[in-house]
């Protein structure tokens, strides 16, 4: 089935907005990324599930996109059906200490909803851009807290199986990772258990976290959040700052002078510019500290030469077999 046939079929199904060759730079916080062959924005959960079953049943490549944070999308774009959850999965319910939300909901909105209900446990999320879905995949965290500490269970869609429920243990949460990265699970909804708290104290904590982010991160500049994972117990930002990297630039991709573990888009940055900076950082940090930084960003799409877009190939080239980051 070619792209025209896919688009015609999706428009006939009337499952939501359908666009052809839509630039993904319009849908990522980095403002970087080539076109999606097909971009679909389902209008509700039922439409989303119908769409997922259809693309899977017809063996059509697909990718789920939330707010587009924490992503570096290839300049070549993505030859697939890109499915946005921003309309379909945005319901939020509070029942006692339990908050249940669609995975298209912004984390900042969840934090404010919890505050309004005098529930504590999600204050850390107010400073994390992106959706609940992305936070589950990455086990997002900040200020010493992570999603694993509040998640009770997750409703997922699994290819060939359909909808089912995972408990938090089955999700396999670890530092900036989960079993969502190993499987083709799509998170639809998550239930979180919070604690009763004082509304004023919760708000004060949230304001402190928001002010901290404003003062220590390049807020207002297009970026995708932390570029590298912290090689615990070290901090990637400190290591990158230690090699004097703040202000390094390739094209319009710039290492932030505010926080060294952030790369900002100065206007017309390309994915290849960001990748060149990441390679340079990785090489210099390894040379100085013998620590091999691992990306926190997810690479989406083919590699620079059109081959498979894995980080290993992006670092060293397909079939290169290189072991050191500066070879």
Cite the active site residues: 176, 226, 296
Helix, strand or coil for residue 94? strand
> What is the largest distance, in Å, between two alpha-carbon atoms of the chain?
58
Write b or e for each residue in 270-306: b if 16 or more Cβ atoms lie within 10 A of its Cβ, otherwise e.
bbbbbbbbbbbbbbbbbeeeeeebebbbbbbbbbbee
How far apart are alpha carbons 240 and 246 in whole angstroms?
8
Closest CA to 121 of 200, 210, 196: 196
Asked if 225 and 129 count as a contact pair (C-beta separation under 8 A), the reply is yes
317: left (phi over 0), alpha (psi -120 to 50) or beta: left
Report the residue count for the chain. 327
CB atoms within 10 A of CB 33: 28
Alpha-carbon Rg for the chain, nearest whole angstrom, is 20
Count of helices and strands (H, E) across the chain:
9, 18
């Amino acid at each position: 089935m070619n792209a025209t046939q896919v688009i015609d079929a999706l428009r006939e199904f009337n499952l939501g907005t359908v666009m052809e060759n839509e630039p993904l730079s319009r849908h990522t916080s980095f403002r970087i990324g080539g076109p999606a062959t097909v971009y679909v924005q389902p209008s509700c959960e039922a439409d989303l599930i119908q769409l997922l079953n259809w693309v899977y049943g017809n063996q059509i490549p697909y990718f789920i996109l939330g707010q587009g944070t924490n992503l570096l999308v290839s300049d070549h774009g993505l030859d697939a059906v890109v499915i946005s959850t921003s309309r379909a999965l945005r319901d939020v319910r509070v029942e006692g200490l339990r908050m249940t939300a669609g995975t298209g909901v912004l984390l900042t909105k969840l934090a404010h909803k919890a505050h309004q209900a005098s529930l504590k446990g999600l204050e850390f999320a107010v400073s994390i851009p992106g959706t609940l879905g992305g936070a589950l995949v990455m086990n997002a965290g900040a200020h010493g807290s992570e999603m694993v500490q509040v998640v009770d269970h997750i409703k997922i869609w699994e290819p060939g199986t359909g909808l089912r429920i995972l408990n938090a243990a089955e999700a396999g949460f670890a530092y900036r990772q989960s079993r969502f990265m190993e499987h083709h699970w799509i998170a639809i909804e998550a239930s979180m258990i919070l604690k009763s708290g004082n509304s004023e104290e919760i708000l004060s904590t949230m304001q402190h976290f928001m002010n901290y982010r404003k003062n220590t991160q390049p807020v207002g500049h297009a970026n995708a959040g932390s570029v590298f994972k912290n090689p615990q117990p070290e901090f990637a930002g400190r290591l990158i700052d230690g090699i004097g990297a703040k202000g390094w630039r390739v094209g319009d991709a710039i290492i932030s002078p505010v926080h060294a573990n952030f790369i900002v888009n100065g206007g017309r940055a390309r994915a290849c510019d960001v990748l060149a900076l990441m390679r340079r950082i990785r090489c210099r940090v390894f040379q100085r500290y013998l620590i091999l930084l691992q990306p926190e960003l997810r690479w989406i799409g083919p590699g620079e030469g059109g081959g498979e877009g894995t980080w290993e190939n992006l670092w060293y080239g397909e079939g290169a077999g290189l072991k050191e980051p500066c070879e």
